[in-house]
Amino acid sequence: MFTTVQGRPIDPTNLTRTFTALLRKAGFRRIRFHDLRHSTATLLLEHGVELVVIKELLGHAHIGVTATVYAHVRLRLQRDAIGLLGHALRDPAEPTSQPDDGDDPPLYAAPVR
């Protein structure tokens, strides 16, 4: 909760006006103050923070709310995970985009076709 110097709640209009002025001064596009909440949750999810922890931070009563709101992020992370798995299971004879520096463990899985 944000308060004035006197300890009273900040008027939402004043918060929006000040936030918009700060965005303009920093050269950022205009967003709603509430968008910061979504950005935070998305970044946490993308960095591996468990959904239940994000639910608690956001104050959602049920994890289903959090899961529904951030389903698009979870789907993107799932696609990325499948891509990583596909890369791990690639045919060792196929050329890779990065040279093998010898630091990675050998590939033990056989490609599935």
How does pLDDT run along the chain (113 residues), one tens digit per residue?
A: 678 899 999 999 999 999 999 999 999 999 999 999 999 999 998 898 999 999 999 999 999 999 888 888 878 888 888 888 888 888 666 655 555 555 555 555 555 55
pLDDT attached to residue 3: 86
What SS3 state is found at 9? Answer: strand
Phi/psi at 9 (nearest 5 deg)? -60, 145
CA-closest candidate to residue 55, choices 43, 36, 41, 35: 41
Domain that holds residue 57: 31-88
What total number of domains does the chain contain? 1
| Rounded Cα–Cα distance for residues 97 and 83 (Å) | 14
Does residue 96 sit within a domain?
A: no
pTM over 0.75: no
Does residue 62 sit within a domain?
A: yes
48 token code pair: 């591996």
Does residue 68 sit within a domain?
A: yes
Does residue 53 sit within a domain?
A: yes
Does residue 75 sit within a domain?
A: yes
